[in-house]
Amino acid sequence: MTKFNKILLTGINGQVGHALYPKLSVLGEVIALDRGQLDLTNPEAIREVVQRIKPDLIINPAAYTAVDKAESEPELAHAINGIAPGVFAEEAAKLGALLVHYSTDYVFDGKKTSPYVETDETNPLSVYGASKLAGEKAIQAVGAAHLIFRTSWVYGAYGKNFLRTILRLAAERDSLNIVADQFGAPTSSDSIADATIDALQKWDHSKNGIYHLVNAGETSWHGFAQEIVTQYKKISTPTTLQPLLATPSSIIAIETKDYPTAAHRPLNSQLETIKINEIFDVELEHWQSSLEKIIKKLQK
């Protein structure tokens, strides 16, 4: 098993960082930083922190994730998602450290009719997607040891995400309109954290590169919303969870064109995971199983 002396973890108040933090101690000593301790818009601040801590593993789940807001804040999105990862890679290279970074399904345009593989041509439709792609390319250009995990539709018991939004709206309204013509794999932050640690335990330099890391299966946002309400109602009791007004049948399917947003999103966000399965022997569970675990976690 690969072990690390010192691990620098960014973004501990984000979904993936929060999920990673309690699990990483099996790999080594963890120094975890939030936005207030590390300004990702300031390259010199990043360099100073890395040089002071001298980690042999840097894990960077921190990101600008406001997809629609990024359309009006392109410079900020690019600073955090595009430039900062390259700075981390440069500092990792100086230390001989491994950099783990997270990217997104939004680097693709969604026009492919089957799941995307790692070597498929990228063509982001949004500022957010372009900024995340710039981060990937910046890391690759440096040539440091790196693992880039592209994931999709991230949610969890913690933080702001689709699961928590649907539960809030379903408690307030008796019906919801949800987009049904975008397809992908809802992926829990816990699944991402577990798979990351599993891969790191088996890592060596021959395994550097980009990997797709998502829960198995696929659905639409509409199907995801219906499953959230179905599973929530199945395990909730009057004393543990807030009752929902909406039911699976009162969640109405609409098309993307009926719900205009500032940022364009790919209709097909499916990511093929054969590579990570073969190289690391890492296989994520089905998205419905993962969702059930997260809802039970919310119940507690």
Residues designated catalytic: 128
Contact 64, 80 (CB under 8 A): yes
What does each C-alpha distance from 109 to 37, 105, 202, 264, 266 come to in angstroms?
35, 9, 32, 9, 5
Contact 33, 59 (CB under 8 A): no
**Structure token pair of residue 276:** 């990570």
Please list, in sequence order, all residues whose beta carbon lies within 8 angstroms of the beta carbon of residue 192, skipping any fewer than 6 positions away: 16, 19, 20, 102, 149, 151, 154, 213
What does each C-alpha distance from 121 to 107, 113, 174, 181, 214 come to in angstroms?
9, 14, 42, 22, 19
Burial per residue of 125-156, b for 16 or more beta-carbon CB atoms within 10 angstroms, e otherwise: bbbbbbbbbbbbebbbebebbbbbbbbbbbbb
Distance CA 293, CA 299 (A): 10
